[in-house]
Amino acid sequence: MELDGLKYLVVGAGFYGAVVAERIAEVLGKRVLVIDKRKHIGGNSYSEIDSRTGVEVHNYGSHIFHSKDVRVWEYLNLFCKFNNYRHRVLTKHLDEVYSMPMNLMTINKFYEKRFTPGEAKEFVESEIKKFHIDHPANFEEKGISLIGKPLYEAFIKGYSTKQWQKNLTELPESIINRLPVRYSYNDRYFSDPYEGIPIDGYGTLFENLLGHKNIETELGVDYFDIKDKIPKDCVVIYSGPIDRYFEYQYGQLGWRTLRFESEALDIDDFQGTTVMNYADESTPFTRIHEFKHYHPEREFNPKTTIFREFSQFAKKGEDPYYPIGSDSDKLTYQKYLAASKNEKNVIFGGRLGGYVYLDMDQVVTMALNHFKTKIQSF
Ligand code: UDP
């Protein structure tokens, strides 16, 4: 690994780092070194074949690419083709299976009715009115004000308590905005015009992004081990945790992490769908992923891999997934943000660098924007 004369160093080979590196290599025609602490590229989006079953698994849980942004879609299509997968989620509550996000099928099955869209809306609104929440101040109030208490308690309360392990009145209401409620039979999880899974997997997409002749990738390298050897005029694009960069001087930012129990089964199909949520608190995991269903275009052996997903607080050194974003986290982040503005030649980005929950497409948008505004114009 040659650091002498290096002008661009990218820390982190996830979407943010890989896209910025590709742009530097292709548009600026400059040599760029990408390092990652992990032994693989792709960050949490990485996928690889499970040798036990031949099924491609998403090592860090299901990743479904979806976007509204045609620029991002066209850009990624330069590096991979996407299949036509459309995400649909089911949820188990008291041994019955329902459709998520809540839609007319969910509401009718739950209340054992045959409501039309208008009737369902009227009925749910009457449930909502029972609680008079005009200005929801937290996650729980927001949930009840969107769907009424019975649906909230069946499908949101138990799942979110397992996911966040917090009193739901202490969670920000913004989290629930990710889940729409529909008064139609539309059961698509996402409403974006572009959606799919890379046909050859995320691993190959990242290999293609980083495959440019001007890019050198070194895995298993910790930035903090080489920091002192980096030339002073080298631009560092840092997508690791921002609190780690500043040696936790203002304290640690709160993250939740996920733990997966992987199982290879000698059966063709375990659950008949990619993701089954478990809404009740009595089941310890939040959901089960069955990855072969992400690739209906592939042929498989009569074997399958499933991941049971458990959510827990991220201790130092554990993989961060979801920023908790409590009031004290927000204050701490502001201090790191102010400190980052004084770092000459360092650009912070991505989910970890910005302490923000972002979907994959939003990270690509951020990377393309940062390249234009912060790197190309340097
Ligand atoms: N959620 C829920 N019940 C579900 C699915 C999601 O209560 O069956 C809540 C939960 O609090 C979760 C949030 O909605 O954190 C956002 O869900 P999403 O599926 O977007 O989470 P992700 O797939 O990003 O983990």
Q: Whose CA is nearest to atom 11 of ligand 1?
A: 160
| pLDDT at position 162 over 90 | yes
Strands 55-58 and 235-238: what pairing?
Answer: unpaired
Interval between CA 286 and ligand 1 midpoint (Å): 9
Q: Whose CA is nearest to atom 21 of ligand 1?
A: 178
The angle that helices 201-209 and 15-23 make with each other, rounded to 10 degrees, is 30
Confidence (pLDDT) at 177: 78
Interval between CA 356 and ligand 1 midpoint (Å): 16
DSSP per residue, 125-155: HHHHHTT--SS--SHHHHHHHHH-HHHIIII
Is the full-model pTM beyond 0.85?
A: yes
Confidence (pLDDT) at 377: 78
| pLDDT at position 169 over 80 | yes
Q: Which of 199, 191, 198, 202 is nearest to 67 (CA)?
A: 191
| pLDDT at position 211 over 70 | yes
Q: Which of 65, 86, 92 is nearest to 162 (CA)?
A: 92
| pLDDT at position 353 over 90 | yes
Tens-place pLDDT, residues 225-280: 999 999 999 999 999 999 999 999 999 999 999 999 999 999 999 999 999 999 99
69 catalytic, yes or no?
A: no
Q: Is the CB of 160 under 6 A from ligand 1?
A: yes
Q: Is the CB of 159 under 6 A from ligand 1?
A: yes
Percent of the chain with pLDDT over 90: 89
Q: How confident is the model at residue 340 (pLDDT cuts 50, 70, 90)?
A: very high
Mean pLDDT of the chain: 95
Interval between CA 135 and ligand 1 midpoint (Å): 22
Q: How confident is the model at residue 1 (pLDDT cuts 50, 70, 90)?
A: confident
Spatial separation of the C-alpha atoms in residues 109 and 113, rounded to whole Å: 7
| Closest approach atom of ligand 1 to CA 89 | 8
256 catalytic, yes or no?
A: yes
Q: Is the CB of 156 under 6 A from ligand 1?
A: yes
Which is catalytic among the residues 290, 309, 329, 361? 309
Q: Whose CA is nearest to atom 7 of ligand 1?
A: 156
Which is catalytic among the residues 194, 243, 244, 256? 256
Summarize the confidence of residues 128-154 as an average pLDDT. Answer: 91
| CB burial readout 137-150, b (16+ within 10 A) else e | ebbbbbbbbbbbee
Confidence (pLDDT) at 378: 67
Q: Is the CB of 24 under 6 A from ligand 1?
A: no
| pLDDT at position 150 over 70 | yes
Interval between CA 267 and ligand 1 midpoint (Å): 29
31 catalytic, yes or no?
A: no
Confidence (pLDDT) at 185: 97
Best probe residue, ligand 1, of 140, 163, 255, 280 (max atoms within 8 Å of C-beta): 163
Interval between CA 179 and ligand 1 midpoint (Å): 7
Confidence (pLDDT) at 26: 98
**Contact in structure between 344 and 277 (CB atoms under 8 Å):** no
Interval between CA 160 and ligand 1 midpoint (Å): 7
| pLDDT at position 92 over 80 | yes
| pLDDT at position 176 over 90 | no
Spatial separation of the C-alpha atoms in residues 175 and 179, rounded to whole Å: 8
The DSSP 8-state label assigned to residue 43 in this structure reads G
182 catalytic, yes or no?
A: yes
Q: Which of 156, 155, 148, 119 is nearest to 131 (CA)?
A: 148
Confidence (pLDDT) at 131: 84
185 catalytic, yes or no?
A: no
Tens-place pLDDT, residues 33-60: 999 999 999 999 999 999 999 999 999 9
| pLDDT at position 12 over 70 | yes
The DSSP 8-state label assigned to residue 374 in this structure reads I
